[in-house]
Amino acid sequence: VNALPELAVRTEIATLDRDLAQQQLEAVQIQLNQGSGNPNAPQPTPKDEQNARIQERQKFLDMLDADLALRQTQISALRVTGQLEQWLKSSVRLDNTLPQAPSAATSRP
């Protein structure tokens, strides 16, 4: 339970790191396609793009790992405090109140 705030911060940092890596990948792709706009700046190579893509995917996996750890800890905290069953029941009630999509059988003329 005490780890929740720390895990929430780690998840936020991992999300920001992933967003930054995504922006860096996009910048490299733009520079490859359109040039850097500065003739004195080194032009990125396809290898630079691949490295940026690898970096972005790694940051994405790190973000997923952090989010999973946070959610597992949240569920454990609910279990320890005896609130897990109540949370599950409220989730089921919410699912039952959402409008259902029409089935394929009813949507055909």
The answer to whether position 92 is within a domain reads no
The answer to whether position 88 is within a domain reads no
pTM: 0.73
CA distances from 25 to 7, 18, 34, 51, 56 (A): 27, 10, 14, 9, 7
Task: State both tokens at 69.
Answer: 């750890």
Q: Which residue has the higher pLDDT, 32 or 2?
A: 32
The answer to whether position 15 is within a domain reads yes
Total tally of structural domains belonging to the chain: 1
The answer to whether position 99 is within a domain reads no
Count Cβ atoms below 10 Å from residue 90 Cβ, excluding itself. Answer: 11
Q: How far apart are CA 1 and CA 82, in angstroms?
A: 13
The DSSP string of 12-56 is HHHHHHHHHHHHHHHHHHHHHHH--S-TTSPPP-HHHHHHHHHHH
Place of tokens 């949370």: 87
The answer to whether position 102 is within a domain reads no
The answer to whether position 89 is within a domain reads no
* 91, pLDDT greater than 50: yes
The answer to whether position 54 is within a domain reads yes
Q: Which residue has the higher pLDDT, 101 or 23?
A: 23
- What range defines the domain where residue 56 resides? 4-83
The answer to whether position 12 is within a domain reads yes
